[in-house]
Amino acid sequence: MWSNLPLFPAGASSMAGHVDALYFALVAITAFFTILISVLILFFAVRYRRKRNPTATQVPASTTLELLWTGIPLGIVLIIFVWSSVIFFIQTRPPKGAMEIYAVAKQWMWKFEHPEGQREINQLHVPVGRDIRMVMTSQDVIHDFYVPAFRIKADVLPGRYTSTWFRATVPGRYHLFCAEYCGTQHSGMVGEVIVMEQADYERWAASGVEGSLASSGEKSFQQYGCSMCHRSDAAGRGPNLVGAFGRPVLLDDGRTVTADESYIRESILNPGAKISSGFKNIMPTFQGQLSEEEVIGLVAYIKALGSGSANPPLPVSEPNSGAYPVAPKTEGSAAQSDTAVTPPEKANPAKSAPKQ
């Protein structure tokens, strides 16, 4: 019915029908009261014009009328509030088992990384009928992930992860926009979501891939010396990361947080922000040392450690060597201190948080 109306895209996701129903209900309510009020204004203007009523008369108060024009709008507003809240909670809570795809926004392009290892720019391939959770961050300014056909729109913020999810229901190609003004070429920050049958997606995902996202994170984990302290036994200087993702973390200030993607990212780039109980603040920052893709790989690897789909970390040197791993220096970045740091007092890893 609406396929030929350019300003109303076809619905191609599991949420599209719910959002459209709410939208049309709001339009209908607005149109009804606009017409009703307009008609009443014209009626009273004619009915009580000066020729017929040269002298004003006092209209007696009506409790029933007062209750009606207060109660009816209140009831309508409450219905809209509950209805929209249900849709909001569904949109912000991805189903368990959803496939996770990482997105990095920057002026003026989209970069996507699939769990199988595929990387894309301004194109996003997804299977039809599968729940997809987008884990997103920005390298510069605020962007916004917007797919009109899926009826989803979510801010993409620098320095942290945000997420949204969708389930595409119709194979095809759909427009992807940045819906937040992000600079002079904002209008050119476009892409497309390509929805494929499951078999076609599997063939595409398996083509030309060197390794999964978690395997690339494992390489970075070894390359940057993370396995020297974050061991899978009780001899490590840092918390044991095996099975840490998604669990509560007790901090040294008494607070408890959840070890999600944002927490792990912050732990890598700003390890002193939240110190795990039982550990000292001796981990060097990797801010400026790691690319966004490397951080995403490390997050994927730590998540995979809990599911058993990744190898547990192996030490790159003996734990009693006396030196803490130092973030490698890169040209143009602040140099890290090469002075060895006396390791902190050991804590029970079973009661420790998955971060320093």
Do 118 and 98 lie in one domain? The reply is yes
Residue 63 placed within a domain: no
What CATH number has the domain bearing residue 161? 2.60.40.420
**How many CB atoms neighbour CB 116 within 10 A?**
17
What CATH number has the domain bearing residue 234? 1.10.760.10
Do 243 and 203 lie in one domain? The reply is no
The predicted pLDDT at position 234 comes to 65
CA quadruple 236, 237, 240, 245: dihedral, nearest 10: -150
Residue 57 placed within a domain: no
37 three-state secondary structure: helix
Q: What are phi and psi of 87, to 5 degrees?
A: -65, -40
Residue 325 placed within a domain: yes
Give the total number of structural domains in the chain: 2
Parallel, antiparallel, or unpaired for β 190-196 and 152-156? unpaired
Any residues with CB less than 8 A from the CB of 236 and at least 6 apart, and which?
229, 230, 315, 319, 349
Residue 109 placed within a domain: yes
The predicted pLDDT at position 348 comes to 40
The predicted pLDDT at position 178 comes to 95
Do 111 and 219 lie in one domain? The reply is no
The predicted pLDDT at position 241 comes to 82
What does the pLDDT look like over 252-266, one tens digit per residue?
888 888 888 888 888
The predicted pLDDT at position 124 comes to 94
CA atoms within 13 A on the CB side of 312: 13
Q: Is the dihedral of CA 253, 255, 258, 261 positive or negative?
A: negative
What does the pLDDT look like over 275-332, one tens digit per residue?
888 777 878 888 878 888 888 888 888 888 876 556 666 554 444 443 444 444 444 4
- Taking the whole predicted model, whether its pTM rises above 0.85 is answered as no
d(CA 84, CA 223): 48
324 three-state secondary structure: coil
Cβ atoms of residues 15 and 150 within 8 Å? yes
Residue 70 placed within a domain: no
173: containing domain: 1-46+94-209
What does the pLDDT look like over 113-144, one tens digit per residue?
988 888 899 999 999 999 999 999 998 999 99
Find the helix packing angle between 292-307 and 261-269, rounded to 10°: 130
**How many CB atoms neighbour CB 285 within 10 A?**
15
Do 266 and 347 lie in one domain? The reply is yes
* Low-confidence spans in the chain with pLDDT less than 70: 1-6, 208, 234-236, 307-356
Residue 152 placed within a domain: yes
d(CA 113, CA 99): 12
Query: Could you say which of 180, 209, 238 is where a domain stops?
Result: 209
Per DSSP, the residues of 147-170 read: EGGGTEEEEE-BTS-EEEEEEB-S
d(CA 42, CA 282): 76
Do 29 and 163 lie in one domain? The reply is yes
Helices and strands (H, E) in the chain, number of each type: 6, 12
Question: Cis peptide leading into 108, omega within 30 of 0?
Answer: yes
